[in-house]
Amino acid sequence: MLTQIKGLHHVTSMARDAAENNHFFTRTLGLRRVKQTVNFDAPDVYHLYYGDEVGTPGTVMTHFPFPHIARGRPGTGEVGRTVFSVPKGSLGYWQERFAADRVGDVELVESFGNRQLNFRASEGDAMALVEAADDKRVPWTGNGVDAEHAIRGFDSVSLRLRDDGATEELLKFMGYENAESRNGVKRLIRPDGNGADVIDLEVLPDVGLAGLGAGSVHHVAFAVENRAAQLEVRKALLDTGYQVTPPIDRDYFWAIYFRTPGGVLFEIATNEPGFDRDEDTAHLGESLKLPTQHEHLRSALQEHLQPLEEKEAA
């Protein structure tokens, strides 16, 4: 069993409208934009990161806004819902905030004994806020949500699968343990993690495969402390029979990727070097940062990329 993995690192989704995406995650959810950069493989497309003050692993939601992408098709082999942690007693505040911002598909439910507010993000992403009594992580309060109500980071993600046997075995190998099952959903928890410690498995044997598009999660990333730990995890996964990429420099972390038996793309990402490697903490996310190999495209990209604040200006 692996001991290096410490919970979620980030979740990356697809989007279509960069300004709308920026508005929803910074203004509606109150997260901080900690980085604006571009897709390494498609530099004419943003890669936007939102999280707490410094982009702590376990708090960071990221998006690739492809302007002409079709809406995703929900199904199996994907992350079904991304869940953020908020303080106990705060969901009334969020219901009012979502009503004012006309957020879609808002529903108050109970999940594993906790109150949970399901909703759809601006481009259809299935998300939720869950009340957590003992989450001590410090929230970002610079975008209009006070500390009594602000998002602490991720609580969990749910995986929608046609069969969960091999994925459950993989997660146990990654250090997760069975917690409980309710209403057909199996919950696994990473003990002594970073706060973003929960994975839920939902089995839907008669549902077809998901189609990637706007509102779909592209991949879910798990956190390891450093590159040495990442290499240990990579070797163990390779020895177990998984096809794992070599480490890839993503500027703010190193990443390896592999496809799970249930079809979901997993990443193992390092906590180092962090989002302050090229910006002062006080100014994270304020300017366009480019990978070195794309710096020569800066003038063209600044002309091409959609202004992120145009929704506020409209």
Question: If you search the block for the tokens 């366009």, which residue do you land on?
Answer: 288
CA distance 305 to 18: 9
Instruction: Give Cα separations from 256 to 147, 172, 238, 249 (angstroms).
Output: 34, 19, 12, 9
- Over its C-alpha atoms, the chain yields an Rg (Å, rounded) of 18
Handedness of CA 156, 274, 15, 27 (dihedral sign): positive
Please name the helix (run of DSSP H) or strand (run of DSSP E) that holds residue 168, with its range, or none: helix 165-173
Along the 314 residues of the chain, how does pLDDT read in single tens digits?
Answer: 999 999 999 999 999 999 999 999 999 999 999 999 999 999 999 999 999 999 999 999 999 999 999 999 999 999 999 999 999 999 999 999 999 999 999 999 999 999 999 999 999 999 999 999 899 999 999 999 999 999 999 999 999 999 999 999 999 999 999 999 999 999 999 999 999 999 999 999 999 999 999 999 999 999 999 999 999 999 999 999 999 999 999 999 999 999 999 999 999 999 999 999 999 999 999 999 999 999 999 999 999 999 998 655 44
Sheet holding 177-182, edge to edge: 104-111, 114-120, 126-132, 78-87, 153-161, 198-203, 185-189, 177-182
Q: What is the pLDDT of residue 121?
A: 96
Q: What is the pLDDT of residues 31-72, one digit of tens each?
A: 999 999 999 999 999 999 999 999 999 999 999 999 999 999
Return d(Cα 58, Cα 195) in angstroms, integer.
7
Q: Distance between CA atoms of 257 and 12, rounded to whole angstroms?
A: 13
DSSP E strands in 242-294: the ranges are 248-249, 253-259, 265-273
Q: What are phi and psi of 273, to 5 degrees?
A: -85, -15
pLDDT for res 133: 86
Listed residue (284, 253, 212) closest to 26, CA to CA: 284
Query: Distance between alpha carbon 233 and the CA centroid of its chain, in Å?
Result: 21
Between the CA of residue 13 and those of 39, 140, 226, what are the distances in Å? 12, 21, 24
pTM for the predicted model, two decimal places: 0.96
DSSP state of 294: G
Strands (E), the chain: 8-15, 32-38, 46-51, 60-65, 78-87, 104-111, 114-120, 126-132, 153-161, 177-182, 185-189, 198-203, 217-224, 248-249, 253-259, 265-273
Map residue 275 onto helix, strand or coil: helix
